[in-house]
């Protein structure tokens, strides 16, 4: 017997013994590749859907049955009878009876609560899309604390006459809206005709 013949016979013997093992390894590899392919495809689909959902914010009014006593105007000066001065009012004042419930206009997180002589008790809520809302002249007893997550329409506190800088207006909510920390006209987001 020559060596070549011996070699071939040894190869055939090896295949006869281990062919099922090789088939098993090929099967496992195909399975892993399929899982990876499906997984990455699923991620791509999610990435396409998420940004559209993040932009879809729903807005509510901070008060029901309120009257706008002072509107937003970033150019014309408006007279502040309390401080006896003309000033730019980058906010909307909602006149309403003291004790009326104030609601978060959109879902978000309470990022600040403070009290100053001019603004009274203030709650600041951060929303998606770099938006913030600020509720001033509130009663000191609030329904929320810093760090709380709130939903749109949720009661956060009550109207008072705590803003001494606008005391002559009586009980009212001084409401501000900020986009990228710059004050904007809230009517761009709120449907004020339904107030």
- Positions touching Zn ion (CB under 5 A) are 91, 93, 174
Residue whose CB is less far from Zn ion, 109 or 164:
164
Residue whose CB is less far from Zn ion, 91 or 103:
91
CB 160 within 8 A of CB 142: no
Bridge partner list, 101: 158
- Min separation Cβ 44 and Zn ion, Å: 48
Work out the angle at residue 169's Cα, subtended by the Cα atoms of residues 163 and 172, and round it to the nearest 5 degrees. Answer: 60
Shortest Cβ contact with Zn ion: which residue? 174
Assigned token pair, 140: 């000191």
Beta-strand (E) ranges in 81-158?
Answer: 85-89, 92-95, 101-103, 108-116, 120-126, 131-138, 149-150, 155-158
- Min separation Cβ 157 and Zn ion, Å: 16
- Min separation Cβ 45 and Zn ion, Å: 47
Q: Is 84 helix (H, G, I), strand (E, B) or coil?
A: coil
Residue whose CB is less far from Zn ion, 148 or 169:
169
Residue whose CB is less far from Zn ion, 89 or 107:
89
- Min separation Cβ 77 and Zn ion, Å: 14
> What gap in Å lies between CA 180 and CA 120, rounded to an integer?
24
Residue whose CB is less far from Zn ion, 107 or 171:
171
- Min separation Cβ 191 and Zn ion, Å: 20
> What gap in Å lies between CA 110 and CA 127, rounded to an integer?
9
Where does the chain have alpha helices with state H? Answer: 3-55
């Amino acid at each position: 017997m020559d060596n070549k013949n011996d070699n071939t016979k040894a190869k055939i013997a090896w295949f006869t013994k281990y062919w099922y093992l090789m088939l098993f390894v090929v099967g496992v590899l195909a399975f892993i590749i399929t899982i990876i392919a499906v997984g990455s495809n699923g991620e791509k689909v999610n990435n396409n859907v998420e940004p559209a959902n993040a932009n879809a914010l729903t807005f509510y009014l901070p008060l029901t049955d309120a009257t706008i006593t002072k509107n937003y105007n970033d150019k014309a000066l408006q007279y502040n009878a309390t401080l006896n001065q003309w000033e730019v009012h980058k906010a909307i004042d909602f006149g309403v009876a003291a004790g009326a419930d104030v609601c978060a206009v959109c879902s978000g997180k309470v990022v600040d609560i403070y009290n100053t002589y001019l603004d009274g008790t203030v709650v600041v809520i951060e929303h998606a899309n770099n938006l913030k809302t600020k509720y001033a002249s509130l009663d000191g007893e609030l329904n929320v604390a810093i760090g709380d997550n709130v939903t749109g329409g949720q009661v956060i506190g009550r109207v008072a006459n705590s803003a001494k800088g606008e005391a002559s207006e009586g009980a009212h909510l001084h409401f501000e809206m900020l986009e990228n920390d710059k004050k904007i006209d809230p009517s761009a987001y709120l449907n004020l005709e339904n107030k």
